[in-house]
């Protein structure tokens, strides 16, 4: 994420499944089901046993759902 050697990296916030569920209103099983279908951002390992999501990607997913609602109601 660096464009030049003098710029600092842009930090991204990692969120765990509890936070993902809290902000989306989805249960963990639905999050993983949607991930498998390719309709939800993929998680990644931050340690061998711990997974997380990028907060920005989950927020983008939320915005896309809102856009779909607006199109459907137009």
Arithmetic mean of pLDDT over the chain? 92
Please say whether the beta carbons of 24 and 62 come within 8 A: yes
Q: How many structural domains is the chain composed of? A: 1
pLDDT of the residue at 4: 61
- For 51, the domain range is 14-72
pLDDT of the residue at 46: 96
Q: Is the pLDDT of residue 3 over 70?
A: no
Q: Which residues of 59-74 are buried (b: 16+ CB within 10 A; e: fewer)?
A: eebeeeeeeeeeeeee
In a domain? residue 39: yes
Q: Once rounded to an integer, what is the mean pLDDT over residues 56-72?
A: 92
In a domain? residue 5: no
Q: What is the CA radius of gyration of the chain?
A: 15
In a domain? residue 1: no
Q: Is the pLDDT of residue 1 over 60?
A: no
pLDDT tens digits for range 4-32: 667 888 899 999 999 999 999 999 999 99
């Amino acid at each position: 994420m660096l464009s030049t050697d003098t710029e600092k990296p842009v930090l991204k916030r990692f969120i765990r499944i509890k936070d993902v569920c809290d902000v989306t209103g989805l249960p963990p099983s639905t999050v993983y089901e949607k991930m498998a279908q390719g309709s939800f951002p993929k998680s990644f390992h931050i340690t061998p046993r711990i997974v997380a999501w990028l907060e920005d990607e989950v927020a983008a997913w939320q915005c896309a759902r809102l856009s779909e609602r607006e199109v459907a109601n137009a």
